[in-house]
Amino acid sequence: MTVSSSSRCLAVTAAAVLAVLSAACASTGYAPRPFPVPGGAPAGPAAAPAPAGRGPFDGYALVGTALALRGAPYRNGGTDPKGFDCSGFTQYVFEQHGIALPREVREQYRVGQAVNADDLAPGDLLFFATTDKDASHVAIAVGGDEFVHAPSSTGVVRVERLSAGYWAQRYLGARRVAP
């Protein structure tokens, strides 16, 4: 066998192997996807996105959604990024993660489980008495001493500290809401 016939034989063998491997992929119906896959799901035919509102609650992802809305204006009765009031803001953020909240602050104060102030976690709802002794303002715990909220008619969605004098004096409690 000469060098040229040896090269030709190798080329024919490589082409045959490539053809067999290509046919095997096509016969499975598998369509390769780019890596990494959004959401961290493995590539392949068995990978399917989880339905909204299912699976473990991710307080950090929820807080990320809330923080991305910083700067959105306050609008009385507002429930979208064009303008939020406090409960419209929390309702909108939770809805983006498949969790339905009631519309009014006092109704939101009744959902989920009560959380001790020492056990606050990102995504917990924080409630304040700003206009009377009952819950009249709601925010989302960011972590540590911080929360994000739609504060008032003169403000925008922003982060503040729970230990700040105004908020500390008006803090009523927290609720943990998970699917």
State how far the Cα of 157 lies from the Cα of 82, in Å rounded to an integer: 11
According to DSSP H, which parts of 96-171 are helical?
A: 105-108, 165-170
Neighbours of 111 (CB within 10 A): 15
Query: Is 97 tagged catalytic?
Result: no
Query: Is 137 tagged catalytic?
Result: yes
Label the pairing between strands 146-149 and 137-143. Answer: antiparallel
Nearest to 85 by CA among 142, 136, 146: 136
Given 9, 25, 86, 97, the catalytic residue: 86
The first and second tokens of residue 100, run together, are 């339905």
Nearest to 160 by CA among 139, 131, 132: 139
Query: Is 25 tagged catalytic?
Result: no
The first and second tokens of residue 110, run together, are 């009744």
**Active-site annotation, residues:** 86, 137, 149
